[in-house]
């Protein structure tokens, strides 16, 4: 389900303030940098014959990085802060706790 077009024009992304949006963007950019560094280190380990645990860590780090990049894209296109399932606002508290989330707490618990 996509966010209704009428909501895309709202400046307050998912009901969050501009200040919250800036703080969340900074957190996501830091998270992106950390995941990229982690992936680089894990790739170096893998090149030396890393075991299965390190490969699993690499796959997880790549998935987290993809979620972070997607969250940054939602910030840029105005859909950040809206639940992709029910299209309701996610809420600043949840976004600060889990900035890359795509779901409000209700939809996350239903999954």
Per-residue DSSP letters for 43-77?
HHHHHTT--HHHHHHHHHHHHHHHHHHHHHHHHHH
Range of the domain at 41: 5-110
C-alpha closest to that of 15 among 69, 94, 73? 94
CB atoms within 10 A of CB 8: 13
**How far apart are alpha carbons 11 and 22 in whole angstroms?**
13
Task: State pLDDT tens for residues 62-107.
Answer: 999 999 999 999 999 999 999 999 999 999 999 999 999 999 999 9
Name residue 89's beta-bridge partners.
Answer: 82
Tell me the CATH number at 37. Answer: 1.20.120.910
- pLDDT given at position 6: 38
- pLDDT given at position 71: 97
Show the tokens assigned to 13.
Answer: 């992304």
Residue 39 CB-half CA count within 13 A: 14
- pLDDT given at position 54: 73
Task: State pLDDT tens for residues 26-36.
Answer: 999 999 999 99
- Please state the domain count of the chain: 1
């Amino acid at each position: 389900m996509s966010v209704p077009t009428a909501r895309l024009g709202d400046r307050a992304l998912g009901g969050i303030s501009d200040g919250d949006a800036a703080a969340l963007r900074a957190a996501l950019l830091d998270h992106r940098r950390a995941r990229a560094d982690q992936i680089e280190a894990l790739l170096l380990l893998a090149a030396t014959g890393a075991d299965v645990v390190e490969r699993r860590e690499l796959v997880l780090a790549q998935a987290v990085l993809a979620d972070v990049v997607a969250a940054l894209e939602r910030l840029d296109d105005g859909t950040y802060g809206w639940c992709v399932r029910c299209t309701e606002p996610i809420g600043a508290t949840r976004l600060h706790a889990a900035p890359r989330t795509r779901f409000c707490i209700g939809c996350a618990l239903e999954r």
